Amino acid sequence: MTSSRTPILKPPRASKEYEIKVLVEQCDGCELCVEFCPTEVLTIDLESFNHRMLNYVSVKDIDACTGCKMCERICPSVSIYIIEKDLPEEVKE
């Protein structure tokens, strides 16, 4: 079933941006954050190692982050956290 109606208003835009901080030297590379992320924002960096010779998590697609903080909650080594940043007023429109 198709509709001939068109929306009057533009779809709402996100009013927040998120930044993911990873404490590389503390990360165990357990991949729990990668597995539990609902939007597949994170990945394990197989090319790089920390001082303990462990692969660590890196951000694959920050624009897909919804700020759910699931990665922050699930991390056993407390090495990942999310920072919320407000968007400038001209972007919110």
User: For residue 19, what are the β-bridge partners?
Assistant: 83
Residue 35 lies in a domain: yes
Dmax (CA) of the chain: 60
Q: Which domain holds residue 51?
A: 16-84
Dist. CA 71–CA 44, nearest whole Å:
13
Write out pLDDT tens, residues 57-81.
Answer: 999 999 889 899 999 999 999 999 9
Residue 45 lies in a domain: yes
CA distances from 88 to 66, 68, 79 (A): 18, 21, 29
Counted domains in the chain: 1
CATH code of the domain containing 20: 3.30.70.20
pTM above 0.85, yes or no: no
Write out pLDDT tens, residues 10-61.
Answer: 766 566 889 999 999 999 999 999 999 999 999 998 898 999 999 999 999 9
Residue 22 lies in a domain: yes
Residue 11 lies in a domain: no
